[in-house]
A = this chain, B = another copy of it.
Amino acid sequence: MVQMPFLTPGDERRHLVEHGVRPLNHRVAVYRYLLDHPTHPTADDIYGDLKKHMASISRTTVYNVLNLLCDHDVVKRIAIEKNEMRYDANTVNHLHFKCTDCGRVFDLHDDPFPVVSIPEGFVVQDVQVNITGLCPGCA
């Protein structure tokens, strides 16, 4: 299930405020980037692209903002492979598929999201389903 409708430009400020995040320029830029690029970029992808249009931004700030947005549940971290943390502004549960050939991470919209039965006593905060294999283009 996709987060629909995606936040239109301008709405991201309100969304940040609703989650307790002051909408400073760099924060809005990183968040807007994630909304516009549902490609599960790494921190460095984001930094590299943003710097083209926002000369002032630093890697540290990208990391600061991403950590802040994760803490406030505005974006989610995806741990799907070694040495690369990816970020996703779509916080609705969905599957991720990483192609081992081209390296892209696809959203798979299993409907409904698979049900997992958790033993008594465990408190669930987040469920991630990460699939690896070959995408249609590479298979």
Contacts and interface: CB of A to CB of B under 8 A. Distances in A.
Interface of A: 77, 79-83, 85, 95, 97, 100, 106, 108, 110, 114-136, 139
Given A95-B116, A97-B122, A130-B130, 8 more contacts: A108-B118, A122-B131, A125-B132, A125-B134, A126-B132, A126-B133, A127-B130, A128-B130
A136 to B, nearest CB: 3
Stoichiometry, as copies per complex, reads: 2
Given A79-B81, A110-B116, A115-B114, A131 B136 contact: no
B123 A133 contact: yes
Contacts of A131: 116, 118, 122, 124, 126-128
B128 A133 contact: no
A132 B116 CA distance: 13
A34 B108 CA distance: 32
Nearest to A101: B123
B82 A77 contact: yes
